[in-house]
Each structure stands twice: as structure tokens, then as C-alpha cells.
Structure 1
Amino acid sequence: MTTIPVGPPTGPSFFEQIGGHDTFVRLVDTFYRGVADDAVLRPMYPEQDLGPARERLTLFLEQYWGGPTTYSAQRGHPRLRMRHNPFKVNPDARDRWLAHMRVAVDELDLPPLQQETLWSYLERAAFAMVNTFED
């Protein structure tokens, strides 16, 4: 007789597989180092200090990948498109975001499967955030 597992999957979450909190902090810190000097992306962050943006992205990614649910506890449902709607996210902004994120993902030096899993999600998310095709 074959039993079919019921309930959540067992084993480590993706969050745990890639190193947990420290890995996401490294990813986000590297990403924002690029954003800090980007003439198109930097104006989308109203705070003088990118620290709050770093924290929000870290918490979001950790939660998305099976880590702590602190993001939702502090900010509610992610509603990514709604939160990005006030900003002009055109293909140029998307491509710049992806370029900085590519550097950050590559610096993590993850195993190929985890790297592709993470990158695939980030790429889909970036394309989904485009809300205008105007310059």
C-alpha cells in the first residue's frame, strides 16, 4: 500500500537551503550598493538612507522563501504591484533592477539549482512590476 503525504512538505525550506537570514542580507546589501548610484532607480527610494528599503526587501524575500513571517506581521500583505504603482517602472527601470540583482545573486555563489530557482523568481517579479512603457 502506498501512502500519500498530507500537509506541508518536509525538509528544509529554500530559505534554509541557501543559508537563511545571512544569505538574504548579503543579497540585499549587494543589490542596494548598485541601486545607490543608479540615476534611474535611486529616485524611487524616498528615504535619504536606503536602510529601511534594505530591511523591507530582506524581510519580504525571507518570508517569500519560507523564513520568518516578519514582513507580513509588520506591513501586511505584500501587494507588490500596488506598492510599486506610484513609481514609473518601465522596461529600463526593470532592466537596471535586474542588472543589480544579477550581480547580487552571482556574488552569493549558490549551487546551480538554488541560483536558478532564485533568479527565475526575481526575473518574473521584475517583469511583473512594469507598469508603464513610457520613458
Structure 2
Amino acid sequence: MTTSDRPSQTTQRAELYARLGGHDTFERLTRRFYEGVATDEVLAPMYEGDLDGGEERLRMFLEQYWGGPTTYQEQRGHPRLRMRHQPFRVTPDARDRWLTHMRAALDDVALDPEADRAMWDYFVRAADAMINTLEPRP
């Protein structure tokens, strides 16, 4: 196969998005995730009553990251995850809670093992990168 015969990166990402189940998968994933966040005493207050907005933003971001529509960037610009999370106290405890809710959401979505592993690896790396303080809540 020559370089010109290979699918473009955009095509490969779109195929990945489709293999993951497309919009329906990401909608179910983020809905389930935010059901957990809504009852979390550490994470819920960070959303200042805007859990629906958070759910939509996360869904759009994940869809774009995993090869789907670029709606997130069109509406909000570059993700700049560290900058967008800087106003919040993201401690190791907050990270662990975030990961707990995301693990439950991934389990509910029940992706094939390879896709689950890829997404989980990404979520762990991303959550680790968001930690911006080691200080517990005041």
C-alpha cells in the first residue's frame, strides 16, 4: 500500500468515531457520567448549577477528540483543557472522583475491550494532567 492509498488521518478518525458508536455512545457516556457527578460532594459544586452545560461541553469535546464532529472547536475554540480547568481546585481526590464516575459510565456503555482500554487510558492521562493543586479544600 502506498502512502496515497492509505486512508487520511481524518478518515481514520471518522472511522474510529463510528466504531465507538458515534453520537449515541458519547451521549450515553456523558449522561451517565454526569448522573454520578450530580451527587458528588466535591465535583458537583464546581459546576455552579450548570451540569447540563458541562455535559454538553464534555460530549462535544469527546466526540471531536475521538474523530466525530468538530462542533466543540467551532463553538468554543481550542479545547485548552488545562487553562479551562485552572479556576477549579483539581486535587488528586477530585481526579479520583472524576475517574470513578467515568469508569462507571464506561462500564454502562460497554464498549468492546480494545475501545474501552483506549478510552480509559486517555481518561486517566487527561485526569492526571488536570491536577492543579495538592492542597485539600479549605
Give the alignment's TM-score, normalised by structure 2: 0.91
- Structure 1 position 3 matched with structure 2 position 2: yes
Shift in Å, 1:7:
6.3
Equivalent in the alignment of 1:32? 34
> Which ranges of structure 1 fall in alignment gaps of 5 or more residues?
none
Q: 1:1-135 maps to which residues of 2 (within 5 A)?
A: 3-5=2-4, 8-9=8-9, 10-11=11-12, 12-46=14-48, 48-135=49-136
> Which ranges of structure 2 fall in alignment gaps of 5 or more residues?
none
3-state SS, counterpart of residue 86 of structure 1: coil
Number of matched pairs = 133
- Residue identity in the other structure for 1:8: S
Distance 1:78 1:49 in 2: 18
- Give the 3 Å change call, closer, same or farther, for CA 98–73 of structure 1 in structure 2: same
Distance 1:134 1:127 in 2: 15
- Residue identity in the other structure for 1:71: Y
Calculate the aligned-residue CA RMSD, in Å: 1.4
**Greater helix content:** 2
- Residue identity in the other structure for 2:96: D
